[in-house]
Amino acid sequence: MSEPDINATIRTYLDTVATGDAAAVAALYAPDATLEDPVGSDVRRGRDAIAEFYGGLAGAELTTELLTARVCGLQAAFHFRVVTTAGDAKYIVEPIDVMTFDADGLITSMRAFWAPSDMTVA
Amino acid sequence: MSEPDINATIRTYLDTVATGDAAAVAALYAPDATLEDPVGSDVRRGRDAIAEFYGGLAGAELTTELLTARVCGLQAAFHFRVVTTAGDAKYIVEPIDVMTFDADGLITSMRAFWAPSDMTVA
């Protein structure tokens, strides 16, 4: 079996987050995957809990942009920008996510390093 | 006891790495800390093993620069640049490190996301 293309998976993840389709994002995760966003908060486990988390995106006008990715086998860290538009305001946050993947390229864990104080308003 | 200033600790770490003083870098780690650099390689444990790892810096002409840090309590991810000068060539690598810290601000674990293929020559 060929190795999954983790850089491509990260781009697909960010593109899918931008659509706001929580079920589609959850489908990029392995069934028993874990999600900790932000790091230090309660860990969610399983696609249902993960879909519920991304359900918070519904109705938001989002763009995402990959800034840097560093891939080590089936693990990666990447820095990205999320811009949320609400009325006339744009809220910008640039987390660093750490992910692990299985041999099929599904996300097995996600940990998001960011804090509300990192958010800027444009 | 007050919380350690993790952003300051990260800057101290990068400044100390740039000096090439392996013992001084190791002293920023807790006695039983772990180091995995790059992610996927064997994990080193304890200050002696950590000092040996940074001993590889001895004699190198290094500069370090913090690009971005995201701190969540006593955990952090940060993106930084290391420029190594060897003769007329400059080798540039920009890892993303993930660290955990104890209540005294000592590093308890370090995991470095980068690959030799990320290195560029200027």
Could you give all domains of chain A from N- to C-terminal order, each with its CATH number?
6-121 (3.10.450.50)
pLDDT at B35: 98
Q: Is A13 a known active-site residue?
A: yes
Secondary structure class of A68 (helix, strand, coil): strand
Distance from CA of B92 to the nearest CA of A (A): 14
Q: Please state, in angstroms and as integers, the Cα–Cα distance from residue A53 to each residue in A44, A78, B55, following that order.
A: 8, 20, 44
pLDDT single digits (tens) B52-110: 999 988 778 999 999 999 999 999 999 999 999 988 889 999 999 999 999 999 999 99
pLDDT at A56: 85
Mean pLDDT of chain A: 94
pLDDT at B4: 87
pLDDT at B122: 83
Q: Do B96 and A72 touch (CB under 8 A)?
A: no
Q: Nearest Cβ partner of B96 from A38, A70, A115?
A: A70
Does the pLDDT of residue B120 top 90, yes or no? yes
Residues 29-88 of A with CB under 8 A from B: 38-40, 68, 70-73, 75-79
Q: Do A39 and B118 touch (CB under 8 A)?
A: no
Choosing among A36, A42, A70, A110, which should be mutated to test the B contact, i.e. which has the most B CBs within 10 A? A70
Q: In whole angstroms, what is the distance from residue A95 CA to residue A27 CA?
A: 21
pLDDT single digits (tens) B18-42: 999 999 999 999 999 999 999 999 9
Does the pLDDT of residue A1 top 60, yes or no? no
Cis status of the peptide bond prior to A38, with omega within 30 of 0: yes
pLDDT at B3: 79
Instruction: Please name the amino acid found at residue B82.
Output: V
Residue with tokens 């692990």, as numbered in its chain: A100
Over residues A81-97, mean pLDDT: 93
Q: Do A96 and B96 touch (CB under 8 A)?
A: yes
pLDDT single digits (tens) A14-72: 999 999 999 999 999 999 999 999 999 999 999 999 999 999 887 789 999 999 999 99
Q: In whole angstroms, what is the distance from residue B32 CA to residue A31 CA?
A: 35
